[in-house]
Chains A and B, each alone.
Chain A
Amino acid sequence: MAQARKRRLRLSAIIGTVPMMIVAIGVYVIGIAFTVFWSFTDSKLFPNSTLVGFKQYHRLWQDDRWLVAVQNIWIFGILLMVFALAFGFLLAVFMDQEIRQEDLLRSIYLYPFAMSLIVTGLVWQWMLDPNFGIEHTVRSLGWANFQFSPLVDPNTAIYGLVVAGIWQGSGVTMAILLAGLRGIDAEIWKAARIDGIPIWRVYIFIVIPMMRGSIGTAFVLIAVGVVRVYDLVVAMTGGGPGISTNMPAVYVIDMITKSYNVGQGMAAATIMLLPVIAVIALIGLGRIVSTRRKNAAILRAEATA
């Protein structure tokens, strides 16, 4: 009887997990395998299996558009990372001051994240448009020489994207970091006050190091958003002016759908996969090292206790 129940349980567990496994293996593993495979072929409009070695990669790194895209993602990624983390942290600190209407404010800050990047992109495109956006508004208030239209100039268009990205990402960063802040024992704060440590020093030397977990989570989330950024670019600039705001994901999609060059698109996609794999491997390695270290520390403490 007991065994029968056990078997039934296991069966239902299998039924429950199989679709997930099919999706994971079918979509991710097989999909990635095909991507890598086609990157070594001379596939044009339709995928074929004529192997050409590293030719697509060679061509990729000679393409100005791709080089601009790579340069852009560095600018976009680093700026977004720094500012979203900084703003998110400041917002979280502000929210942690036992303010009123915390729930309402949190919803407001989280709202951009709930919105589609297409919508975010369109809204910011309007706001940065010289004809009816911020520049127009300020000029109509009397500052006739005011200039703020980054999207028009190829040299500054990427920073317009960064502004929209920060607006979109700060709220969720705040939510994650706020959870981290709340997880810190109130007695730590009391102890620091007794020690007479100024608040900003407590944040920098005690609290932020204690928040490594949530900062890491926020970091990964932003990083993923950076690597796959596509819709924001399409909605705001379409990669322009010229090729100035191309990003790797935009490049990949354009190669497949506009240039009918699947092979080169796949090569670009494979290159995009590399930093993701590297980050995941680093995180995994870090976890293994830190658990080992922790176990060793516990053993040592037990030995001396």
Chain B
Amino acid sequence: MTNHSVSVKDLTLNFGAVKVLKNLTLDISEGEFIVLLGSSGCGKSTLLNCIAGLLDISDGEIWIKGKNVTWAEPADRGIGMVFQSYALYPQMSVRGNLSFGLKTAGVPRAEIEKRVARASEVLQIEPLLDRKPSALSGGQRQRVAIGRALVRDVDVFLFDEPLSNLDAKLRADLRVEIKRLHQQLNNTMIYVTHDQVEAMTLADRIAIMKGGHIMQLGTPDEIYSRPQNRYVADFIGSPSMNFIDGQLQDGVFARGDLTIPMAGYNYASPQPPGGPATIGIRPEHVVTGELVGNAPVQLDVTVDIVEPMGSDTLVWTEVAGERFRVRMDGHAQVRHGEPLRIGIVPARASLFDAKSELRL
């Protein structure tokens, strides 16, 4: 229990007969930035609400800072929380929003002023202190909401999709600010989002959730490079990974005429397995242009659809009868119907068992 800032042990949550969270276990270290990532309905916000104490759990335990807080009130858990809708108290000034909780808790006036001053300095909201939330922009409101968590002087911050209500540019700006805040404060942060860019850029570790389970818990690099199952592989990465179903036999992946010797592939188990398998290849890992000659496996395909995106171009082709996306340089000159030579590097691909969908 020593090193863990937050520990979730065997957490189960039922709504009536529906199991929303199933025997979840998650250990978060001191100062770690954990992102809970998943599509809507996967249970990520529910898990966060359980950690915050806003939902009563059905079974299991929650420990924060070495204390069992499973049945403690949210206010007594040593957490601060930031919400998607900001949830500011609309009739109070920014200063009122920051200090209301502390006043209620009976914190001395001087201490409140000190904390408000510090939080507003960190978040650069000093000029806004006497305004009402309705007179603030979305980004400013979310900063005040973060400030309300900050003045609580707690060790653990919970973020529930804090940037979802902001427009794209503001979201990118505030994302960097949250990262800076984490570096500055070094608090433990648990952050829920459905945006994989936020997850990849902010997280020390990402927990990808689906149907109340954690599908994979790992660093952004692990999640991206070595997805543990097909769901994670498909979920992370944009444009998403290409999948081809086939057979794995003696270290060679085959589907009809297509054969890919998996030399250099790092298997999850010591001995290379065989049987029905799925190979996953990220569009950005397909080699094109002059470098094709260096790739271990080379294929000739026909260009179907070209989607230029400025910095790069997405080319749709067909491999072994399956749609296959290739990411090329933005300057690539390709057109519908033209032949294209592509190279595949098996070491960067992923193999999944066709049945269990787990990484091979």
Q: Enumerate chain A interface residues (CB-CB to B < 8 A).
A: 185, 187-188, 190-198, 201, 205-206, 209-210, 294, 297-298, 300-302, 304-305
Most A CB contacts (10 A, CB to CB) among B85, B87, B139, B152 go to B87
Asked if A198 contacts B104 (CB within 8 A), the reply is yes
Known: A198-B104, A201-B104, A206-B89. A193 touches B136 (CB 8 A): no
B140 within 8 A of A: yes
B291 within 8 A of A: no
Asked if B100 contacts A304 (CB within 8 A), the reply is no
CB closest residue in chain A, given B76: A196
CB closest residue in chain B, given A300: B135
Closest Cβ of chain B: how far from A276's Cβ, in Å? 29
User: Which B residues from 130 to 155 make CB contacts under 8 A with A?
Assistant: 131-132, 134-137, 139-140, 145, 148-149, 152
Asked if B85 contacts A185 (CB within 8 A), the reply is yes
Closest Cβ of chain A: how far from B174's Cβ, in Å? 12
- Residues of chain A lying within 8 A (CB to CB) of residue B132: 297
B276 within 8 A of A: no
B8 within 8 A of A: no
Known: A206-B91, A297-B132. A194 touches B137 (CB 8 A): no
Asked if A194 contacts B80 (CB within 8 A), the reply is yes
Known: A194-B52, A194-B75, A196-B75. A187 touches B83 (CB 8 A): yes
Asked if A210 contacts B91 (CB within 8 A), the reply is yes
Most A CB contacts (10 A, CB to CB) among B49, B100, B152 go to B100
Task: Add 4 more A-B contacts to A194-B80, A196-B73, A205-B92 (CB < 8 A).
Answer: A190-B87, A206-B92, A210-B90, A301-B137
- Residues of chain B lying within 8 A (CB to CB) of residue A201: 104
- Residues of chain A lying within 8 A (CB to CB) of residue B87: 185, 187-188, 190-191
Contact partner, A191, options B53, B105, B148, Cβ 8 Å? B148
Task: Please measure, in the bound complex, the distance between the C-alpha atom of A167 and the C-alpha atom of B85, giving whole angstroms.
Answer: 39
> Please, what's the 1-or-0 string for B76-88, where 1 marks a CB less than 8 Å from any CB in chain A?
1001110111111
User: Which B residues from 51 to 95 make CB contacts under 8 A with A?
Assistant: 52-54, 73-76, 79-81, 83-92
Asked if A188 contacts B89 (CB within 8 A), the reply is yes
Closest Cβ of chain A: how far from B73's Cβ, in Å? 7
- Residues of chain B lying within 8 A (CB to CB) of residue A305: 137, 139-140
Task: Please measure, in the bound complex, the distance between the C-alpha atom of A192 and the C-alpha atom of B148, giving whole angstroms.
Answer: 11
Known: A196-B73, A196-B75, A196-B101. A187 touches B84 (CB 8 A): yes
Closest Cβ of chain B: how far from A219's Cβ, in Å? 18
Most B CB contacts (10 A, CB to CB) among A187, A198, A298, A302 go to A187
> Please, what's the 1-or-0 string for B109-144, where 1 marks a CB less than 8 Å from any CB in chain A?
000000000000000000110011011110110000
CB closest residue in chain B, given A294: B134
Asked if A190 contacts B91 (CB within 8 A), the reply is no
Known: A187-B84, A194-B52, A297-B134. A209 touches B91 (CB 8 A): yes
Task: Please measure, in the bound complex, the distance between the C-alpha atom of A294 and the C-alpha atom of B136, giving whole angstroms.
Answer: 11
- What are 17 pairs between A and B in contact, CB < 8 Å? A190-B54, A191-B145, A191-B148, A193-B53, A193-B54, A194-B52, A194-B74, A194-B152, A195-B75, A195-B104, A195-B152, A196-B101, A205-B100, A206-B92, A297-B131, A304-B127, A305-B139
Asked if B91 contacts A197 (CB within 8 A), the reply is no
Closest Cβ of chain B: how far from A170's Cβ, in Å? 26
CB closest residue in chain B, given A198: B104
Task: Please measure, in the bound complex, the distance between the C-alpha atom of A68 and the C-alpha atom of B323, giving whole angstroms.
Answer: 88
Q: How many residues of B contact A (CB 8 A)?
A: 40
User: Which B residues from 146 to 190 make CB contacts under 8 A with A?
Assistant: 148-149, 152, 160
10 closest A-B pairs by beta carbon, nearest first, are A196-B75, A195-B101, A305-B137, A297-B135, A187-B87, A209-B91, A191-B87, A187-B83, A193-B74, A194-B81
- Residues of chain A lying within 8 A (CB to CB) of residue B152: 194-195
Asked if A195 contacts B85 (CB within 8 A), the reply is no
Task: Please measure, in the bound complex, the distance between the C-alpha atom of A198 and the C-alpha atom of B140, giving whole angstroms.
Answer: 27
Task: Please measure, in the bound complex, the distance between the C-alpha atom of A138 and the C-alpha atom of B135, giving whole angstroms.
Answer: 59
Task: Please measure, in the bound complex, the distance between the C-alpha atom of A205 and the C-alpha atom of B97, giving whole angstroms.
Answer: 11
Task: Please measure, in the bound complex, the distance between the C-alpha atom of A201 and the C-alpha atom of B103, giving whole angstroms.
Answer: 12
Task: Please measure, in the bound complex, the distance between the C-alpha atom of A187 and the C-alpha atom of B85, giving whole angstroms.
Answer: 7
Task: Please measure, in the bound complex, the distance between the C-alpha atom of A297 and the C-alpha atom of B135, giving whole angstroms.
Answer: 5
Task: Please measure, in the bound complex, the distance between the C-alpha atom of A302 and the C-alpha atom of B148, giving whole angstroms.
Answer: 23
Task: Please measure, in the bound complex, the distance between the C-alpha atom of A198 and the C-alpha atom of B100, giving whole angstroms.
Answer: 12
Task: Please measure, in the bound complex, the distance between the C-alpha atom of A193 and the C-alpha atom of B83, giving whole angstroms.
Answer: 13
Asked if A196 contacts B100 (CB within 8 A), the reply is no
- Residues of chain B lying within 8 A (CB to CB) of residue A298: 135
Asked if A196 contacts B140 (CB within 8 A), the reply is no
Contact partner, A304, options B52, B73, B137, B160, Cβ 8 Å? B137
Closest Cβ of chain B: how far from A177's Cβ, in Å? 17
- Residues of chain B lying within 8 A (CB to CB) of residue A191: 81, 83, 87-89, 145, 148
Asked if B137 contacts A302 (CB within 8 A), the reply is yes
Task: Please measure, in the bound complex, the distance between the C-alpha atom of A197 and the C-alpha atom of B104, giving whole angstroms.
Answer: 6
- Residues of chain A lying within 8 A (CB to CB) of residue B52: 190, 194
Task: Please measure, in the bound complex, the distance between the C-alpha atom of A269 and the C-alpha atom of B113, giving whole angstroms.
Answer: 57
Task: Please measure, in the bound complex, the distance between the C-alpha atom of A23 and the C-alpha atom of B184, giving whole angstroms.
Answer: 69
Task: Please measure, in the bound complex, the distance between the C-alpha atom of A245 and the C-alpha atom of B127, giving whole angstroms.
Answer: 58
> Please, what's the 1-or-0 string for B17-31, where 1 marks a CB less than 8 Å from any CB in chain A?
000000000000000
- Residues of chain B lying within 8 A (CB to CB) of residue A210: 90-91
Known: A185-B87, A190-B81, A190-B83. A197 touches B74 (CB 8 A): no
Closest Cβ of chain A: how far from B139's Cβ, in Å? 7
- Residues of chain B lying within 8 A (CB to CB) of residue A206: 89, 91-92
Asked if B79 contacts A194 (CB within 8 A), the reply is yes
Task: Please measure, in the bound complex, the distance between the C-alpha atom of A119 and the C-alpha atom of B100, giving whole angstroms.
Answer: 49
Task: Please measure, in the bound complex, the distance between the C-alpha atom of A76 and the C-alpha atom of B84, giving whole angstroms.
Answer: 46
- Residues of chain B lying within 8 A (CB to CB) of residue A192: 89
Contact partner, A301, options B135, B149, B160, Cβ 8 Å? B135
CB closest residue in chain A, given B49: A190
CB closest residue in chain A, given B81: A194
CB closest residue in chain B, given A201: B104
Closest Cβ of chain A: how far from B115's Cβ, in Å? 13
Closest Cβ of chain A: how far from B265's Cβ, in Å? 47
